[in-house]
Amino acid sequence: MIQVAVIGFGYWGPNVVRNFCAQPGFRLVAICDQDMRALSRAQYLHPGVRATNDPAEILASPTIDVVAIVTPVWTHYPLAKAALENGKHVFVEKPFTSSSTNAVELIEIAERKRLIIMVDHTFLFTGAVKKIRELIEQKVLGDLYYYDSLRVNLGLFQHDVNVIWDLAPHDLSIMDYLLQEEPEAIVATGETHLNGHEDMAFITVYFPKNVIAHINVNWLSPVKIRTTLIGGEKRMLVWNDLDAEEKIKVYDKGVSVATQENLRQLLVSYRSGDMWAPQVQEAEALTTELTYFHECLSNNTTPFNDGRAGLRIVQMLEAAELSVKARGRSVYLQQEKRRPSLAEAKAFG
């Protein structure tokens, strides 16, 4: 039985707590929050679990194996660092850290101490993303052309970060997981209207071989939209996460271009066939994720959503922020090896 403590019982923490409780193989032993109202809510809902407002108690406890950190992003680094140095595995909310330097340091500590970091990019464990990954791996879409995502709604404005750090980690982590490619450069534009932080942003990510991604995040939209288009050589896909019944639609459509001899003109031909909405698994993503976390801990394997995955997203967020402040300057990303091998990634069913 793996002993877990959760730090942070605000918006997302209660879900993490509830899922660790329900997950066989884990035993939740402590909850920590500095806000006393949050703490008493935790006590009311989980009467058998120790509640404390002092993270040090948890970080120092010899009986805790895993610390889950579900706190504001700027606190991830000090909390995770202390946990790792005390020999604890770490489960940390996205984005991993507020700077890539911090992320690199945490990864090094974890590797040195042979500890596991899992960054909670929850969306990667939804039925929809798993199904899309499957369709891409099985070459149903063919070579990919683009990933174009729209994630807009009204609020909730954050006080400490802009819309890029708030909403884009979802899209960047999904894009990273689906494309499995190293981006070359990022161009971001956006604007600030109300509280000094960008409330809308448009991020372009350039990949090798003419693959391109685009992410539109906006806190000032009157309607909620969660739609992603993915274009491939053979087929194209629309993922509407707000459609309860038909989240993913695969279109048997394509374009071919041929050059006819003796003709300077290109011949473009369109192919159009059936549409198909594969059934998508409905399990709660966090449940699936914690099952996988338990497997990784038990088998001592590196999760595909490890610290390096978290670092890749943080690097892209930093690049996007730099670009948006410079009105769309191209920011090039370093091409070091940042991705787990396919074999490691495959470990996840």
The verdict on 263 binding a second copy (CB under 8 A) reads no
Distance of CA 299 to the CA centre of its chain: 23
The verdict on 224 binding a second copy (CB under 8 A) reads yes
Which tokens go with 259? 């050059």
The verdict on 127 binding a second copy (CB under 8 A) reads no
What is the Cα–Cα distance from 222 to 153, expressed in whole angstroms? 6
Site string for a second copy, 156-185 (x = CB under 8 A): xx-x-------------------------x
The verdict on 251 binding a second copy (CB under 8 A) reads yes
Q: 322, 314, 345: which is closest to 96 by C-alpha?
A: 314
The verdict on 221 binding a second copy (CB under 8 A) reads yes
With CB under 8 A as the contact rule, the residue among 229, 294, 301, 345 that binds a second copy is 229
Distance of CA 81 to the CA centre of its chain: 21
Q: Which residue has the tokens 């995955």?
A: 309
Concatenated DSSP letters for 30-76? Answer: EEE-SSHHHHHHHHHH-TTSEEES-HHHHHH-TT--EEEE-S-GGGH
Please list every residue from 281 through 320 that binds a second copy, using CB under 8 A: none
Stretch that binds a second copy, among 64-72, 120-128, 162-170, 212-220 (CB under 8 A): 212-220
The verdict on 108 binding a second copy (CB under 8 A) reads no
CB of 322 to a second copy, least distance (A): 13
Residue 206 DSSP SS3: strand
Please list every residue from 22 through 81 that binds a second copy, using CB under 8 A: 47
What is the Cα–Cα distance from 235 to 239, expressed in whole angstroms? 13
What is the Cα–Cα distance from 267 to 122, expressed in whole angstroms? 44
Stretch that binds a second copy, among 116-124, 132-140, 238-246, 338-346 (CB under 8 A): 238-246
Contact indicator for 270, 253 with CB cutoff of 8 Å = yes
The footprint of a second copy (CB under 8 A) covers 47, 145-146, 148, 150, 152, 154-157, 159, 185, 187, 189-195, 200, 202, 204, 206, 210-212, 214, 216, 218-224, 229, 231, 235-238, 245-246, 249, 251, 253, 255, 257, 265-266, 268, 270, 272-279, 323, 327-330
